[in-house]
């Protein structure tokens, strides 16, 4: 029987919905898309030019079957080897439902791509703590059910990895789940901008318990952060001096509604800003972050990226870019890669913060890298060429 990766999720919002639907999509199409064993290390890049000359048919096959993933089979795992074993939320519309239904419950509003059969995973009520902020509170009802013992559930379901998909600003609730992971020996993957994998205190805590963690704040496939940091790096590499830059983001989902609460935004701004700032060896005046909520956009996110600089002869240059994406799906493939990277770490007995998995899949990793370097390190890690 194929090996599985047993995953628990905290926060059954749009991101969890896109992830579950996406894995179901790959599962439904697996007979068409399963790669032959000799295809397993074909990556979605022309990193190894030798590959592009070998068998074009196989490469075309690999490109479609692994759409949105670093590779269809990574570290020995296909996307549908990810198996959800536990789910936690706090709101009435989701708690008590099977995960297959909770992902479609309001106020989730991402696009539908795949129906999902009953998964036999009931969404359990967890402690709210600071998970629901003032804005969020106005749109949802907290469930009256008694809260479950999260640590016991992780143990009972033999979860190996817990994904943290809580709303921005959930500092206490994130720490709560990280502590439950430390208590139970479960790997923690942190999709949100609360600093765990990138904080020395937590790195040491995970290391001393012999457990890996990865994060923080998932970086979307073609998201504003990766585009902005790549453009900034290009300017610097091509000898352009960047004078100023901004990135304004709007959306119409609960993530953006919650982020109207500026008090909850501090870590998000730090996370997004640090990713771009790390690309230049000098300080650039910049303003980066979520900017408004526009309800009819639903889960579409629109980003405006602006850079202004000077090139040869002190001549000004400007880039103005608009990006429109379905936000939750933009990070789901990355999360499938992060889960498989974390599973490889578990198999190798690696503990503490995973440097290359985090640099490739997250905006605020323990060690910030350019996109190309991060991808190279991630693949080298999967192939066992580097330790973390
Ligand atoms: N591309 C992306 O969508 C992307 C990229 C980077 C980061 N993120 C981050 O991922 C997180 C999830 O995004 P989303 O769009 O799914 O958000 P969402 O608001 O749709 O979902 C959050 C879920 O967490 C639940 N929740 C609140 N408190 C909880 C608690 N204490 N325990 C368990 N569940 C709790 C909410 O009820 C809700 O179902 C956000 O922080 C977002 O900023 C998303």
Looking up residue 284, the CATH number of its domain turns out to be 3.30.360.10
Q: Looking at the DSSP assignment, which residues form a beta bridge with residue 353?
A: 213
How much is the pLDDT for 66? 81
**In testing the pocket of ligand 1, which one of 145, 151, 166 has its CB within 8 Å of the most ligand atoms?**
166
Contact 90, 64 (CB under 8 A): no
Report how far residue 19's alpha carbon sits from residue 262's, in angstroms, rounded to the nearest whole number: 28
The CA 168 to ligand 1 mean position distance, Å, reads 7
- Is there an atom of ligand 1 within 6 Å of 218 CB? yes
Last residue of a domain, one of 284, 309, 326: 326
- Is there an atom of ligand 1 within 6 Å of 20 CB? no
373: its two tokens: 């370097």
Q: Helices (H) and strands (E) in the chain — how many of each?
A: 15, 11
The CA 293 to ligand 1 mean position distance, Å, reads 16
Largest CA distance in the chain: 68
In a shared domain, residues 363 and 296: no
**Given the CA of residue 12, which atom of ligand 1 is nearest to it?**
39
Contact 180, 162 (CB under 8 A): yes
In a shared domain, residues 201 and 251: no
Nearest-CA residue for atom 25 of ligand 1: 11
- Is there an atom of ligand 1 within 6 Å of 131 CB? yes
- Is there an atom of ligand 1 within 6 Å of 12 CB? yes
- Is there an atom of ligand 1 within 6 Å of 14 CB? yes
The CA 45 to ligand 1 mean position distance, Å, reads 30
Query: pTM score > 0.85 for this model?
Result: yes
- Is there an atom of ligand 1 within 6 Å of 89 CB? yes
In a shared domain, residues 88 and 70: yes
Last residue of a domain, one of 286, 307, 326: 326
260: its two tokens: 């109207």
Nearest-CA residue for atom 20 of ligand 1: 13
Instruction: Give me the domain span that covers residue 350.
Output: 5-219+330-382
Which regions of the chain does DSSP assign to beta strands (E)?
Answer: 5-10, 82-89, 123-125, 161-164, 187-190, 212-214, 241-251, 286-293, 300-311, 315-326, 352-353
Nearest-CA residue for atom 27 of ligand 1: 131
The tens-digit pLDDT sequence of the chain (388 residues) is 579 999 999 999 999 999 999 999 888 877 555 444 334 444 454 334 333 343 444 444 455 678 899 999 999 999 999 999 999 999 999 999 999 999 999 999 999 999 999 999 999 999 999 999 999 999 999 999 999 999 999 999 999 999 999 999 999 999 999 999 999 999 999 999 999 999 999 999 999 999 999 999 999 999 999 999 999 999 999 999 999 999 999 999 999 999 999 999 999 999 999 999 999 999 999 999 999 999 999 999 999 999 999 999 999 999 999 999 999 999 999 999 999 999 999 999 999 999 999 999 999 999 999 889 999 999 999 999 999 9
Report how far residue 290's alpha carbon sits from residue 269's, in angstroms, rounded to the nearest whole number: 8
Q: What are phi and psi of 135, to 5 degrees?
A: -65, -50
In a shared domain, residues 113 and 135: yes
Last residue of a domain, one of 283, 308, 326: 326
213: its two tokens: 């963690």
In a domain, 388, yes or no: no
């Amino acid at each position: 029987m194929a090996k599985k990766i047993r995953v628990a999720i905290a926060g059954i919002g749009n991101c969890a919905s896109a992830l579950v639907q996406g894995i179901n999509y790959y599962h439904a199409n697996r007979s068409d898309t399963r790669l032959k064993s000799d295809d397993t290390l074909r990556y979605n890049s022309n990193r190894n030019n030798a590959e592009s000359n070998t068998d074009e048919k196989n490469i075309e096959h690999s490109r479609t079957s692994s759409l949105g993933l670093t590779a269809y089979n990574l570290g020995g795992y296909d996307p549908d080897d990810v198996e959800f074993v536990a789910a936690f939320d706090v709101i009435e519309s989701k708690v008590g439902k099977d995960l297959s239904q909770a992902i479609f419950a309001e106020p989730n509003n991402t696009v539908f791509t795949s129906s999902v059969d009953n998964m036999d995973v009931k969404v359990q009520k967890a402690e709210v703590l600071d998970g629901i902020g003032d804005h969020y509170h106005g749109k949802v009802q907290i469930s009256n059910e008694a809260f479950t013992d999260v640590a016991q559930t992780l143990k009972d379901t033999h979860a190996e990895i817990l994904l943290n998909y809580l709303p921005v600003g959930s500092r206490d609730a994130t720490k709560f789940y990280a502590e439950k992971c430390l208590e139970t020996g479960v790997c923690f993957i942190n999709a949100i901008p609360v600093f765990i994998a990138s904080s020395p205190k937590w790195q040491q805590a995970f290391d001393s318990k012999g457990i890996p963690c990865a994060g923080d704040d998932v970086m979307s496939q073609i998201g504003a952060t990766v585009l902005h940091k790549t453009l900034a790096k290009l300017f610097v590499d091509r000898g352009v001096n960047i004078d100023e830059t901004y990135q304004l983001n709007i959306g119409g989902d609960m993530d953006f509604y919650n982020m109207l609460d500026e008090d909850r935004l501090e870590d998000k701004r730090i996370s997004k800003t640090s990713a771009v700032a790390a690309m230049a060896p000098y300080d650039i005046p910049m303003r980066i972050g979520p900017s408004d909520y526009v309800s009819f956009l639903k889960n579409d996110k629109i980003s405006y990226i602006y850079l202004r600089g000077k090139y040869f002869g002190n001549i000004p240059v400007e880039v103005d870019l608009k990006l429109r994406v379905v936000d939750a799906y933009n990070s789901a493939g990355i999360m499938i890669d992060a889960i498989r990277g974390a599973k490889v770490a578990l198999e190798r007995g690696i503990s503490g913060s995973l440097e290359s998995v985090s640099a490739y899949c997250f905006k605020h990793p323990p060690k910030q890298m350019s996109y190309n370097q991060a991808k190279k390190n991630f693949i080298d890690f999967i192939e066992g060429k580097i330790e973390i």
